[in-house]
Structure 1
């Protein structure tokens, strides 16, 4: 059983939409990098309540930078840095304002053995607990090779520039972990799930932390252990996450 995470108590202060207000200039920014807007819709309200003494910001990539064909293992850290700079300049805060950068990623089953990628006649990639079926298996093989190497590289990166950095995963994706939903969801379904989740836990952040730290999907061990685990066998197809570790670590 995982150690229960405790919420730090403090008075809540809402952050401004742009820049840092006079009241919040003493706060440090925790910058979350995520793939899509429903990640922010799901997590941002709860995270702002948990990290009450900090300024929570989300940078939405609108896609998966770790499977983008323009990103390589050698350029992965630089790409993350470019996204940080994009958000920093957009909102007008300094590097010294950033406490840490948290990168949220989906695993998409990229660590599975090659022989678990199978041809099927359908139009879309289908994910199962023991295999991936795709109309063009070689494309999935190529993606898995690149993305798994990039994720391994990022997981070993403790800093981007001078900024503390950690990457946490949802396997296969956030909806899989939080709602135990498999298959391809529509944008409307993702929005409904995000709204329901935020409504459920906004007034119960302790319940959210307990959900993360003591569920079937919670991966035990330290940060390095959780990344070794997800890279084994078909674990990256199963319902797993190491996101709870963010809240167990001491504030920077």
Structure 2
């Protein structure tokens, strides 16, 4: 029997893996799914810019390939799932709030102690995402990028500013809910407005099911 091809999925954190990993394994049951957790946002990482972002993503593949003695031909595709984190909003909706110990997101604004830091981060993140959107391959492996807006908690659970404990519990419950009902999960992903996604929230990993574009939105009314 031929070895299963690897579907290499890149996510930002453990809660992304918890919520989506088992479901993607079910969907890609004819392939071998590996979920790579970046433990952070590669698109806003220090010193990462459009000139080296593709290489940064490629490093994830090369390290896994070397560690596990794989060849490029062992990979089927790379699926990269990111959070938008408000990167595409106008600077004017980023508000100073000296009481905000961490960045606070809402459907109408982003509140932070240091607005200029968020403005700079957003610019970096936008530029890196737009560079990645242009790539059909990385390391000679088919590559596609998808988003959670403004992040996984917002897209999947309709929550913002969740604590780490809440993220862990919500991701567990989400995976539990859909693990035995993959058609319902696919419907949720493909047709979010038919479930509970309100205006201003977006999720697009629909290329998995044949749609070949990425749409970047966060607050469409702004």
Superposition TM-score, scaled by structure 2 size: 0.89
1:72-113 deviation per Cα after TM superposition (whole angstroms, max 9, x unaligned): 111000100011111222232211100100001000001111
Separation in structure 1 between the aligned mates of residue 45 and residue 135 of structure 2, nearest angstrom: 19
> CA 1:119/1:249 → structure 2, altered by over 3 Å: closer, same or farther?
closer
Change (3 A) 1:26 1:143: same
Q: Give the Cα–Cα distance (whole angstroms) in 2 for the partners of residues 89 and 161 of structure 1.
A: 13
Residue equivalent to 2:44: 67
Partner of 2:67: 90
Instruction: Return the alpha-carbon distance in structure 2 between the equivalents of residues 186 and 217 of structure 1.
Output: 27
- Which residue, 160, 167, 174 being the options, matches 1:182? 160
Match of 2:202 among 230, 236, 240: 240
Structure 2 runs not aligned, ≥5 long: 213-222
Conservation of the 8 A alpha-carbon contact between 2:188 and 2:194 = no
How far residue 161 of structure 1 moved from its aligned partner, in angstroms, is 2.5
Match of 1:166 in 2: 144
Equivalent residue for 2:219? Answer: none
Matched-pair contact (CA < 8 Å) for 1:217–1:239: no
Consecutive unaligned residues in structure 1, runs of 5 or more: 1-22, 219-234
C-alpha distance in 2, partners of 1:111/1:56? 30
Distance in 2, Cα, partners of 1:44 & 1:128: 27
Tell me the distance in 1 between the aligned counterparts of 2:53 and 2:141.
Answer: 15
Contact 1:217/1:240 (8 A) holds in 2: no
Q: Which residue in 2 is equivalent to 1:20?
A: none
Distance 1:92 1:202 in 2: 31
- State the partner residue of 1:152: 130
Q: Is the CA contact (8 Å cut-off) linking 2:13 and 2:37 kept in structure 1?
A: yes
- Check if 1:135 corresponds to 2:113: yes
Structure 1 CA distance for aligned equivalents of residues 67 and 170 of structure 2: 29
**Equivalent residues in 2 for 1:1-252 (5 A)?**
25-122=2-99, 123-183=101-161, 185-216=162-193, 238-248=200-210
Q: Is the contact between residue 30 and residue 100 of structure 1 (CA under 8 Å) also seen in structure 2?
A: yes
State the Cα RMSD in Å: 1.8
TM-aligned CA deviation for residue 147 of structure 1: 0.5
Tell me how many residue pairs correspond in the alignment: 208
Rounded to whole Å, the distance in 2 between the matches of 1:78 and 1:217 is 38
The 8 Å contact of residues 83 and 148 in structure 2, kept in 1 or not, is answered as yes
